Amino acid sequence: MITFALIGNQNCGKTTLYNQLTGGNQHVGNFPGVTVERKEGMIRKQKDIVVVDLPGIYSLSPYTKEEIVTREFLIKEHPEGIINIIDATNIERNLYLSLQLIQFNIPMVIALNMMDEVSANGGTIDIRKLEDSLGVPVIPIAAVRNQGIEKLISTALETVVNRNTPKQQNFYTGLCAQTYSEITTILTKADRKDKKAAFHAIKLMENDGRVKEEITITKDLGEAIEKRIRTMENTLLTDRKAAVADMRYRFLDSLCSEAVVRPGESIHKRRSLRIDNVLANRYIGIPVFILIMLSVFWLTFGVIGSFLSNLLAGGIQVLTDFLRDILVRAGIKDILVSLVTDGILAGVGSVLSFVPTIVILFFFLALLEDSGYMARVAFIMDKLLGNIGLSGRSFVPMIIGFGCSVPAVMATRTLPSDRDRKMTIFLIPFMSCSAKLPIYGVFTMAFFPNHRALVMISLYLFGLLMGIVSTLFYKKYIFKGEAERFVMELPNYRIPGAKSVLLMLWDKTRDFLTRAFTVIFLASILIWFLQKFTWNLEPSVAGSQSMLADIGHLLTPLFKPLGFEDWRISTALLTGFMAKEAVISTLGVLSGEGVKHLPAALHQLLSPASAYSFLIFTLIYSPCVAAVSIIRRELNTISAIWIMLYQTLFAWVCAWMVYGAIRLLIA
């Protein structure tokens, strides 16, 4: 088995190349930070050749989770080869990472991506000069057009099979280069088995704490190394990290001046700058974004989505009635007929009817992301988020949180500051994930049929507002300090690709369907069982005598101040902890009504005021078990428990205040 590590900067086409190499269908975003954890697949037409797609990074300094993931992979898992992908249109900055990878002394090949754009805009790159100067093979490719991929694969395999490690050379000049050379010599003499002496030397010059822990040298040698570094700092009148960075860029500037004729400004770049004059304008950028999102919600919830969801709900109801009739005619026992129709179909069907709404919402979000607009939104939100103590980069996980909290929490790994990362994770539960859409859809259909889009928008905005309030609280009392400065490379605008949009839609729909036929399926059966039987496991004559009713009655006093006095509402909220869609599937089972008639049945349980209070509570209260689990993994158990308790208490207070305010207005 041969393993290649696929490494490059963010937004350099790494996921596109991964898909070309493996025949995979990973989502490719026009957005930095699409890959936040490693993915691996077999290279096409090759036996036992694996490529591991690692998060996009700019250096191997362990500042962010992504950089740590990539660095740990290289150090601990010892891949046989490295495929370093570079954006040829921005070659100097991309080669900064290459210089660090070369020092790992692992067989390596550079994939010079986007060479088609360089050529189209009058640029040229002397490939032979690059290869001679860097000591590694360089293969020009255009990943999106599948050009140069076969040559890249054959060269990478040849490099690994022949164990052609990068030519170790001192790329640099001056005192910094002399210090680097001396430290490398000291480390090599101290441990002749150290194959990464060059990497360790440069990292010691950067005062890398992890490398200091990894290597074992005597105290005298350590002091000798430190003495040389201090001499360098005092002579150059700069700190060690700045000296190393300056040394690398001096070499790259010299190399690129000889080997690269930079391309002119492309038509895509000029077009993007003209569009940014409007969409990223400092005065109208945010109002334009709000208008765009209002339009998306109006189309999703008020025009197209509701029509299609109603149509699907009607179809599921027809199927339920048809199956009930077939089972009764076949002489199946009543209890089994009830399990299939009142339990499984009522529960799962009530959730499935919202698939069209989810597909339409993510269709629009996919268009915005793939066009490159979402990267601009993160940019224009930077100042606004900075006022509440967050970085503009936090906006990326927040947007992902509208789909699902689990990938959103994982996306916080792109944040370089641990403080910003924790604050963003604490903020994500306030985003309305797609699992809550069925709840919003059923309740707005039941209680606010003429103002569905308006109520939906109010919920999203309320969640954002309460998230801001909580963030200010966290900033003042827990996460003190200022957010890191926001740096993001803005991609050019482009026409969204059909494949990319469809892949994203499929990912979201598949997740939703998977949960519907696993978690919701089992929850529906469990709820049906608890509702149909007493504690003595005898069929309950009435639902109010069942095990579930007893559990619900215990919780009812807690929710009475919020306007929920029926035990079925309390029970639905309890099951929502497993998965938010379970709230609707539970109500579908407990109401005893079919999918199509569930909204009408809710009128017997709630008033419009208490229904809106219920929506506010479900918007904010504890994340589902999957989200809590990932929060625990990314932070710790105490943080996960804190978020569960804080969100639930905060939701209770918000719902209580909203319910009271509505009652005062009505009175």
Cα–Cα distances (Å) from 85 to 38, 56, 209, 638, in that order, read 16, 10, 28, 40
pTM of the model as a whole:
0.70
Query: pLDDT digits over 329-358, tens only?
Result: 988 888 888 888 888 887 787 777 778 877
pLDDT for the residue 537: 84
Residues 6+ apart with CB under 8 A from 276: 376, 490
Distance in angstroms (rounded) separating the CA atoms of residues 300 and 212: 55
Residues of the chain below pLDDT 50: 30
Q: Which helix (H) or strand (E) holds 402?
A: none
Place of tokens 């639905």: 572
Distance in angstroms (rounded) separating the CA atoms of residues 353 and 308: 9
369 alpha carbon, distance to own chain's centre: 13
Distance in angstroms (rounded) separating the CA atoms of residues 362 and 224: 59
pLDDT for the residue 142: 92
Distance in angstroms (rounded) separating the CA atoms of residues 239 and 403: 44
Residues in the chain: 667
Distance in angstroms (rounded) separating the CA atoms of residues 183 and 198: 8
9, 58 contact by CB (below 8 A): yes
- State the DSSP code for 422: H
- State the DSSP code for 218: -
Q: Residue 436: how many CA atoms within 13 Å on its side-chain side?
A: 28
Q: What count of other Cβ atoms lies within 10 Å of the Cβ of residue 478?
A: 12
Q: Which helix (H) or strand (E) holds 367?
A: helix 355-370
pLDDT for the residue 64: 67
Can you read off the two tokens belonging to residue 366?
């996919």
601, 591 contact by CB (below 8 A): yes
392, 399 contact by CB (below 8 A): no
341, 323 contact by CB (below 8 A): yes
Distance in angstroms (rounded) separating the CA atoms of residues 566 and 553: 8
626, 344 contact by CB (below 8 A): no
659, 564 contact by CB (below 8 A): no
pLDDT for the residue 641: 94
pLDDT for the residue 109: 96
Pairing of strands 138-140, 39-42: unpaired
pLDDT for the residue 29: 53
39, 32 contact by CB (below 8 A): no
